[in-house]
Amino acid sequence: GTGSNILSALQDLFWLLKSKAEKQLQIISVLQWVLTFLIMGIACTLILMYILCTDCWAIAALYLAWLVFDWNTPKKGGRRSQWVRNWAIWRYFRDYFPIRLVKTHNLLTTRNYIFGYHPHGIMGLGAFCNFSTEATGVSQKFPGIRPYLATLAGNFRMPILRDYLMSGGICPVNRDSIDYILSKNGNGNAIIIVVGGAAESLNCTPGKNSVTLKNRKGFVKLALRHGADLVPVYSFGENEVYKQVIFEEGSWGRWVQKKFQKHIGFAPCIFHGRGLFSSTTWGLLPYSKPITTVVGEPITIPKIDNPSQKDVDFYHSIYVDSLIKLFDKYKSKFGLLETEVLEVN
């Protein structure tokens, strides 16, 4: 009896230690991504400049020469790495929240797609995990489809960061890049555009389900020019992982945010999550709230070389209706009340 009690106690201790170790790995995996999002571009630029002033200047010079030679690669589909996309760290990243990808319809490999991702949240955690890694099984759920998450073009001017982003299948959210992928990269491509962008991030806060979409029609025009089907995507829980100070329209804070958004491309947000060592303190780590990303039914889009405004408005209205229907169909299943309404701004 004593032997079996000792064995049982050792087993319990083993599982307790394993559980704690996994939790720490989850925290580390999320922390490295948050730091990458916030400071990697600037940090790598400063380090490269410093190396140029040391005895190792030749290393930095060689990289800069390579950078000039490779400058247009992000505009031509990038340079994805399945090895990077399959890193174990992304599975720990997924399990921290956890993040889940839900497929509702099959996608044909003979078509190209533009996914509209909503809402933006503070950092687009669900968009990154689901489409720039294989942690939630996007390649298994949509076989033959190559996802490209589109993000700020300015990120690809940053040394090292640009290569890191491209390895995950991330591309610049500009016309040149999207045109190339949808017209010169064959079929089976899916470009994920966070439609609300920086403007939407300014209004994201726990408990709020709103999207910036009414006047966002450029992605519809792109879809029509290339005959790429539109796919609404809603990520339940994306707004729950950070708390943000919301500045009212007309306030000095909102004025500053809009100026940054207009001239730099992103809007500075005042936000916080939990602390590194305690969930009761403030810090940069997001709260561990579930994020469930639902990929809706594709909307068949005809190819029109020069779509009129009437064409764009027509398919934009269909897209908005499809997004609202997707939200209403799955809201109660993923933690919202039946009375919740998706606010479209």
Closest CA relative to residue 298, chosen from 110, 113, 109, 103 = 113
Structural domain boundaries of the chain? 2-344
Residue 17 backbone dihedrals phi, psi, to 5 degrees: -65, -40
Per-residue model confidence as pLDDT tens digits over 271-323: 899 998 888 899 999 999 999 999 999 999 999 999 999 999 999 999 999 99
* 200: Cβ contacts below 8 Å, ≥ 6 apart: 118, 119, 120, 194, 210, 211, 212
The residue behind tokens 């305690």 is 278
Tokens of 268: 């500075």
DSSP 2-60: HHHHHHHHHHHHHHHHHHHHHHHHHHHHHHHHHHIIIIIHHHHHHHHHHHHTSTTHHHH
Band of pLDDT at residue 335, cut at 50, 70 and 90: confident
Q: How confident is the model at residue 233 (pLDDT cuts 50, 70, 90)?
A: very high
pLDDT tens digit sequence for 114-137? 999 999 999 999 999 999 999 999
